[in-house]
A and B are shown apart, each in its own frame.
Chain A
């Protein structure tokens, strides 16, 4: 069974530029999550989808971050404009359904200069 796929793996941008990350969850998984992990800390939830609907986006900085999950499969996370403090690893995870084990992708490491 293929795992969660993410791209790109690394991205370096300058502040005020925009960037987009892509996630392909495990086939058949209804729930998809985006987490932000700053160096030395645990991951923090940004947004959670159930199929193509948003379940929780309370910690998403909506003035600069946006995410969508069209057709309830792949998802994209966008940052526009980026700030220095957005430098982090962005992790995508999926689970069969709410309350089931979450499986993580390898992450996208973002550096904002």
Chain B
């Protein structure tokens, strides 16, 4: 079953703007990960945040995690056309297999 729910389902912004995607989940987790998927391609790992962490940065990416609200957000700053992709959050359970949401489709226009 899919645990993560991304919001919004689709997001359209212009280059240079920031993009924020949210993820909510239902049960306790060990880790939460964000992945990017370009059309017709495989999933690319962006960032992993552990349940005892609150914020993590990687380049233009900033991820926050609020375990009390069972939610996470992914911020992409100064977006580029190349950031156009689908973004998925994935939570893990007892066996560490990932439960993915349906994703947020991001379109960045020049």
Contacts and interface: CB of A to CB of B under 8 A. Distances in A.
A45 interface: yes
Interface residues of B, number: 25
B43 A104 contact: yes
Interface stretch (A63-71, A75-83, A94-102): A94-102
B45 interface: yes
Contacts of B96: 31, 48, 95, 98-99
21 contacts: A40-B102, A42-B88, A42-B90, A42-B102, A43-B43, A43-B88, A43-B100, A44-B100, A45-B99, A56-B97, A91-B42, A93-B43, A99-B31, A99-B92, A101-B48, A102-B33, A104-B35, A104-B42, A104-B44, A104-B45, A107-B41
A10 to B, nearest CB: 10
Most buried by A among B43, B88, B92, B99: B43
A21 interface: no
B30 interface: yes
A105 interface: yes
Given A40-B102, A42-B90, A56-B97, 17 more contacts: A35-B98, A41-B2, A42-B2, A42-B100, A42-B102, A43-B43, A43-B88, A43-B98, A56-B95, A91-B43, A93-B43, A98-B96, A99-B31, A102-B98, A103-B45, A104-B42, A106-B41
A101 to B, nearest CB: 5
Interface of B: 2, 4, 30-31, 33, 35, 40-45, 48, 88, 90, 92, 95-103
A102 B34 CA distance: 11
A42 B33 contact: no
- Sorted from nearest, which 6 A-B pairs have the closest CB atoms? A42-B100, A104-B43, A106-B42, A98-B96, A45-B97, A56-B95
